[in-house]
Amino acid sequence: MEWHMDNDNQVESTLVEAKRHFLNVKIDDDTPFEHYSLEEEFTKSRKNHQAYVYLSLLGALAFSVFLAWLVVVILDATRTVNPAVIDNFQELRLRDVFNAARQNEQTLANLNREIAGLNDELKLKVEQVRSETQAAIQLLSQRRMTAQQRITERSNLLSQQNTQIRELEREYKAKITELEDKKKEIEANIQSYQQRLSQADQKRQMILRSSEEVSQRQTAVLESSYNERLKQLETQSRDSLQAERQFHEEYVKLLQERHEEEIKATILRYNPIVEEAEILSILQLQLDDSIQRGEFIPLLEREGVWTRSDYNLVNLRFEQLMSLWERLRAVPYENSVPPILDQLKRFSLLTLGKMDELQQKIAQRLEQKNDKIEELEGVIVSRNEKITQLNDEISYRERVLTAFADSLAENGFVYRILSPQSIQLRLKTGVDVQVGQQITARLNQDNIATLEIIRTDDGIWARTLNLVRPNRPVRLLDRVVIPPTAP
C-alpha cells in the first residue's frame, strides 16, 4: 500500500509538471497584432490547469486504495493453514520470515518502478526543455536584429538548454544513484535470506506462497488496472504535450506570417518604390560618381574673387557631406532608396565639379583681362606720350598764334572756317568782344565782309552777315577789325 501511494504521488507530480505548460489561447484573426512572449504565455498557462484531471486522478487513487484494502480483508478472512503440516509456532516464525522476504521483494519492485519513473520523468523534462528552447529559437525570427545577433542569441539559447539538461541529469542521477544503492542493499538481503532458508522452510514457504497466490492474483489485477490507468494518464499527458507543442508551432507560424507582412509594410513605408516618371527620368541620368578636385588658384585671391579660406571651407563641407552620405548608405535600404542616394551623391559631385570649372574659367578670364589691361596700359602710355608731344606742339602753336595775332596792326585774324555761319577768330591779347557784336573782315585795307559774334565760351566764333563782294567770301588769315563804339 505504501508503494501505491508513493507511485501515485510520483505520477501526480509528473502529470502536474506536464500540465503546467498547457496554454489556453484563442487565436482570433481580428484581434490586434501583439508580439509573442514565451515566458508570459508559460506564466499564463500555469494558471489554466484543468481541475477535472486532478479530480479524476484523485478518484482513481482513492478507488485503488479501497480495492486493495478490501482484497486484503477478504484474504485474511478466508486464509486457512493445514495444522498437520505446520504448527502454530513454526507458522508464526515462518510467516514473519516470509513476510520480511516478501516485503524486500516488494521494496525491490518499488525501487525498480521508482527508478524507471525517474528515468521517464527525466526524459519528459529534457524533452520539455528542448521544446521550450526550440520555441524560443523560432521566436528569434520575430525580433528585429542582425543576422550575427540572431546567431549569437541562438547559440546562447542552446547553451542555456545544455546547461539545464546537465543540471537535470545531475539532479536525477543523484536520485537514481541513491535508489540504486538501496536496490543493491535489498538484493543483498534477498540473496542472504535465500541462502539461510532450509529445505523444510522452503517447503513451508511454498505452502504459504500458495495461500498468497490468490491475493497476488487479485493484487496483479488491481495493479494491472492501476498501471493501465497510469498508461492512459501518461498517454494523455504526452498527447497534451504534443498538442501544446503543435499549438506553439502553429502560433509561431502565424506570428511569422503576420511579422513578415508587417516587415514588408514597414520596408515599403521606409523603402518606397518610386514610380513617378519625373523621378525615374532623373535616376536614369548618366552622371559621373567621381571627381578630381582642382588646386586653388592664387590669382582669384589677388583679384578678391575667391580666397584660400573659402576654398578650404568648401572642401571641408564636401567631406562632411560625404560622411553623411556614407552613413546613410551603410543602412541596408531597399527598393528605390539606394539609387536615389547614389544619384544625390553624383549631383553633389557634379555641383562641386562645376564650381571648379567656374573657378578655372574665371581665372582664365581674369588672366586674359590682365593681359589685355597690360597691353592697353602700354598703348595708353604710348598715346600719353604722343598726347604730351601734341600738347607741347599745340602749346607751341598757341604761343606762335598768340604772338602772330599780337603782332598784327588789326585786332585779329580768321583762324578757322567751318562754314560761312561758323568762323573761328583769333584776337589779340586783351581784346574782348560780346555775343551779337559786329566786326569787319578785311584784306589789306579793303573790307570783305561784316561778321557777327555768335559765341565766346569755346573760342571766338562768328557768322557772316553780308559780303562786300559776293564772289569774295571770308578766307583764312583775313584780318578782323573791331569798329569803335559810338560815344
Neighbours of 392 (CB within 10 A): 10
> What pLDDT, on the 0 to 100 scale, is given for residue 29?
44
Q: How far apart are CA 449 and CA 443, in angstroms?
A: 10
Label residue 418 by pLDDT band (50, 70, 90).
very high
**Least confident segment among 122-131, 236-245, 270-279, 328-337:** 236-245
Report the amino acid identity of residue 316.
L
Between 454 and 292, name the one with better pLDDT: 454
Mean pLDDT over 328-351 rounds to 85
> What pLDDT, on the 0 to 100 scale, is given for residue 194?
60
Q: Mind listing the pLDDT tens digit for each residue in 17-42?
A: 444 444 344 444 444 444 445 455 54
Mean pLDDT over 269-294 rounds to 81
Q: How far apart are CA 27 and CA 41, in angstroms?
A: 13
> What pLDDT, on the 0 to 100 scale, is given for residue 210?
60
> What pLDDT, on the 0 to 100 scale, is given for residue 379?
86
Q: How far apart are CA 271 and CA 264, in angstroms?
A: 10
> What pLDDT, on the 0 to 100 scale, is given for residue 104?
72
Side-chain half-sphere exposure of 100, counting CA atoms within 13 A: 12
First to last CA, the chain: 178
Label residue 353 by pLDDT band (50, 70, 90).
confident
What domains does the chain contain, in order, with CATH numbers? 2-270 (no CATH), 282-355 (no CATH), 409-481 (2.40.10.170)
Label residue 213 by pLDDT band (50, 70, 90).
low
Q: In the predicted model, is pLDDT for residue 4 greater than 70?
A: no
Beta partners for residue 452, in sequence order: 438, 463
Between 425 and 47, name the one with better pLDDT: 425
Label residue 15 by pLDDT band (50, 70, 90).
very low
- The mean predicted confidence, pLDDT, of the chain is 76
Residue 92's contacts (CB-CB under 8 Å, 6 or more residues apart) are none
Identify whether the C-beta of residue 95 lies closer than 8 Å to the C-beta of residue 227: no
> What pLDDT, on the 0 to 100 scale, is given for residue 77?
58
Label residue 53 by pLDDT band (50, 70, 90).
low
Beta partners for residue 414, in sequence order: 425
Q: In the predicted model, is pLDDT for residue 68 greater than 80?
A: no
Residue 271's contacts (CB-CB under 8 Å, 6 or more residues apart) are 333, 334, 335, 336, 337
Report the amino acid identity of residue 150.
R
Model-wide pTM > 0.95 = no
